[in-house]
């Protein structure tokens, strides 16, 4: 698994702030955590936090951007050295192991989207949007590489399965939710294969 990663070089203070923000924003929610709490738990002054990030909105955006890049690296590691059809299924495997390690409460991007609905100009919305678009595009590209008949439609269907499994596992605690979605994805892949279409 991907365990040793760094998105960009940061000062020790900035790294401490971002690591702390990543933990407590996810565990407690963005709105529930103030700048004073963030600074105290990161072991820095509030001034240092503002010097490093400028605003809470910028810190939220940095947190989500880093989480996005970490998740992409996690998926790409899982897909490595596999054929395109298997790579599609390995995205589901990556989600399962990611949720075990980093995401037991569900999707951080969906959580953030819900919290920030009242702030349509918040810069984090672009990160949230791009994360979901990237996942769908990944599925579409893999379907095309696998020679499947309707890659655009399949990409949407696969993403719906992936997102639904995330919600089901995190809310109900159903341990096999992602595996069941993976099995459904296999059926979709096989039904969209040229040999099946004929």
- CATH number, domain containing residue 94: 1.10.357.10
Q: Give the residue from 62, 61, 74, 57 showing the smallest Cα distance to 10.
A: 62
Write out the two tokens for 53: 């990030």
Task: Report yes or no on 2 lying in a domain.
Answer: no
Helices (H) and strands (E) in the chain, counts: 10, 0
Regarding whether 82 and 48 lie in a shared domain, the answer is no
Regarding whether 193 and 180 lie in a shared domain, the answer is yes
Regarding whether 114 and 40 lie in a shared domain, the answer is no
Regarding whether 116 and 36 lie in a shared domain, the answer is no
**Whole-number CA gyration radius for the chain:** 19
Q: What is the pLDDT of residue 1?
A: 34
Q: Give the residue from 52, 69, 56 showing the smallest Cα distance to 21.
A: 56
Regarding whether 46 and 110 lie in a shared domain, the answer is no
User: Is the distance from CB of 22 to CB of 66 less than 8 angstroms?
Assistant: yes
Regarding whether 49 and 70 lie in a shared domain, the answer is no
- Tell me the residue range of the domain where 13 lies: 8-54
Q: Which residues contact 138 (CB under 8 A, 6 or more apart)?
A: 75, 91
Statement: residue 198 has pLDDT above 80: no
Phi-psi region of 6 (alpha: psi -120 to 50; beta: other; left: phi over 0): beta
Count of beta carbons in the 10 Å neighbourhood of residue 49: 24
Task: Report yes or no on 178 lying in a domain.
Answer: yes
Mind listing the pLDDT tens digit for each residue in 139-172? 999 999 999 999 999 999 999 999 999 999 999 9
Residue 10: pLDDT band by 50, 70, 90 thresholds? confident
Write out the two tokens for 121: 């100009």
Regarding whether 85 and 32 lie in a shared domain, the answer is no
Regarding whether 129 and 64 lie in a shared domain, the answer is yes
Task: Report yes or no on 37 lying in a domain.
Answer: yes
Q: Give the residue from 127, 174, 138, 137 showing the smallest Cα distance to 30.
A: 127
Task: Report yes or no on 147 lying in a domain.
Answer: yes
Q: What is the total count of domains within the chain? A: 2
Mind listing the pLDDT tens digit for each residue in 22-62? 999 999 999 999 999 999 999 999 999 999 999 999 999 99
Mind listing the pLDDT tens digit for each residue in 100-119? 999 999 999 999 999 999 99
Count of beta carbons in the 10 Å neighbourhood of residue 155: 22
- CATH number, domain containing residue 14: 1.10.10.60
Q: Is the dihedral of CA 4, 140, 132, 8 positive or negative?
A: positive
Count of beta carbons in the 10 Å neighbourhood of residue 71: 22
User: Is the distance from CB of 22 to CB of 33 less than 8 angstroms?
Assistant: no
Mind listing the pLDDT tens digit for each residue in 59-84? 999 999 999 999 999 999 999 999 99
Task: Report yes or no on 157 lying in a domain.
Answer: yes
């Amino acid at each position: 698994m991907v365990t040793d990663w760094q998105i960009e070089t940061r000062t020790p203070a900035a790294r401490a702030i971002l690591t702390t923000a990543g933990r407590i924003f996810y565990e407690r929610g963005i709105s529930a955590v103030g700048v004073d709490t963030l600074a105290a738990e990161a072991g820095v002054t509030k001034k240092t936090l503002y010097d490093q990030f400028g605003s809470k909105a910028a810190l939220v955006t940095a947190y989500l951007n880093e989480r996005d890049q970490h998740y992409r690296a996690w998926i790409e590691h899982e897909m490595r050295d596999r054929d395109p059809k298997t790579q599609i299924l390995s995205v589901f495997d990556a989600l399962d192991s990611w949720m075990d390690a980093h995401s037991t409460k569900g999707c951080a991007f969906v959580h953030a989207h819900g919290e920030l609905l009242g702030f349509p100009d918040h810069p984090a919305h672009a990160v949230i949007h791009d994360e979901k678009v990237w996942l769908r595009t990944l599925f579409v590209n893999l379907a095309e590489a696998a020679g499947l008949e309707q890659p655009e439609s399949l990409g949407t269907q696969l993403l719906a399965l992936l997102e639904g499994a995330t919600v089901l596992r995190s809310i109900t605690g159903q341990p096999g939710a992602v595996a069941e979605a993976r099995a459904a994805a296999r059926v979709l892949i096989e039904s969209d294969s040229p040999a099946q279409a004929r």
